[in-house]
Amino acid sequence: MNVTANDAILLTHATVGVLGTVSALWVFVETLNVREQNLQRIRRAALAVAIFMVAAWIFGGYWYLHFYPAERAMILKGPWPFAHNVFMETKEHLFLITLILSFYLPIAARDQLLSSAAARRMVLCVAGLIALSGLALEGSGAVIEHGVKVALLRPSGAEIRK
Amino acid sequence: MSADSSRLGRTNAAFGMAAAITALFNTALAWAKDTYKPLTNLMDAIAGHNWTTQALADVMLFVGLGLILSNTAKVQAIRPERLIFFLVGSVVVAGVGLFAWYAVF
């Protein structure tokens, strides 16, 4: 087995991204059923979303700056250049919006969720946006990695591998 | 859940508005640096890479705007439904705007 730093950082990025997305869904469901007993759990889960997304930012950012340029070159020479030109370009900027929403979620969850319907709606909307954008980001990651794969596997990939 | 209030707390409303504005700013900055190369070069020089600079600018804008707006009652005076709609709308427009931009140009 030969797991490089490149592999470990990329997979950690994807893993914490999924954990952040699932935590946002957790906040959403708990908020639908908010009561005194689960209020602290909602706030802790909202904080977990922020922590996981910051981790995804750090690992993903490091990988993007240090390891992605080589993969980008392969993608652009392969049959799926849109994997970079559309999906990576969108992903790297969309992620920053998800990150800001993840910073905001714990603040929104500190509001009076038991007594304010508006505060509950805000948490539901923000958690929902994080979950949906998180899924879009994970899907984009899959397209980008497939862009590398098809570049290497197609007959012209022999040229790229040199 | 008795005595249901329809208001958002001041800090919540302030940072909600800050998040909406930051989402729109993020997309506008992505478009701007994609069309104006000197801006990309400047952002590369500031933090080593334009994406890193953009991320730091977003975080600073969100935190700074949130703190400033928290000290006024103006955002809290906005009806919560409008603020929520503005936040969701901003995020959807910003996200779709990014995808459409890179898909078309």
User: What does the pLDDT look like over A66-119, one tens digit per residue?
Assistant: 999 999 999 999 999 999 999 999 999 999 999 999 999 999 999 999 999 999
Could you give the 3-state DSSP secondary structure of residue A135? Answer: helix
Distance CA A124, CA A16 (A): 21
- Asked if pLDDT for residue A20 goes beyond 90, the answer is yes
pLDDT digits (tens, 9 = 90+) for B19-75: 999 999 999 999 999 999 999 999 999 999 999 999 999 999 999 999 999 999 999
Question: Which among A92, A112, A117 has the least Cβ separation from residue B51?
Answer: A92
Chain A CB contacts of B62 under 8 Å are 100, 103-104
Interval A30-43: pLDDT, tens: 999 999 999 999 99
B75, two tokens: 């955002």
Q: What is the structure's pLDDT at B99?
A: 98
SS3 content of chain A, % helix, strand, coil (to 5): 85, 0, 15
Are B51 and A110 within 8 A, CB to CB?
no
Contacts of A68 (CB under 8 A, 6+ apart): A88
Please, which pLDDT band fits residue A1 given cuts at 50, 70 and 90?
Answer: confident
Q: Which of A34, A82, A116 sits opposite B7 (nearest CB)?
A: A116
Q: Which residues of A touch B98 (CB under 8 A)?
A: 89-90, 93-94
Decide if B57 contacts B21 (C-beta within 8 A). no
Residue A55 has what pLDDT? 98
- Contact by Cβ (8 Å): A132, A150: no
How far is it, in rounded angstroms, from Cα B93 to Cα B90? Answer: 5
**Vertex A110: Cα angle to A109 and A113 (nearest 5):** 65
- Those residues of chain A whose CB sits closer than 8 Å to some CB in chain B are 34-35, 57, 61, 64-65, 82, 85-86, 89-90, 92-94, 96-97, 99-101, 103-104, 107-108, 110-112, 114-119, 121-122, 125-126, 129, 133, 136
The answer to whether residue B93 scores a pLDDT higher than 90 is yes
Count of C-beta atoms within a 10 Å radius of residue A110 = 17
CA distance A159 to A7: 23
Residue B10's pLDDT band, with cuts at 50, 70 and 90, is very high
Please report, in angstroms and rounded to a whole number, the separation of the first and last CA atoms in chain A.
23
Instruction: Output the pLDDT for position A154.
Output: 81
Nearest to B87 among A92, A99, A125 (CB): A125
Contacts of B3 in chain A (CB under 8 A): 115
- Please give the mean pLDDT across all residues of chain A: 96
For residue A127, CA distances in Å to A44, A132, B46, B67 come to 13, 9, 33, 22
Q: What's the pTM value of the predicted model, to 2 decimals?
A: 0.95
CA distance linking residue B98 with residue B102, whole number of Å:
6
Burial grade of B3 (CB within 10 A; 0-12, 13-18, 19 or more): exposed
Q: How confident is the model at residue B2 (pLDDT cuts 50, 70, 90)?
A: very low
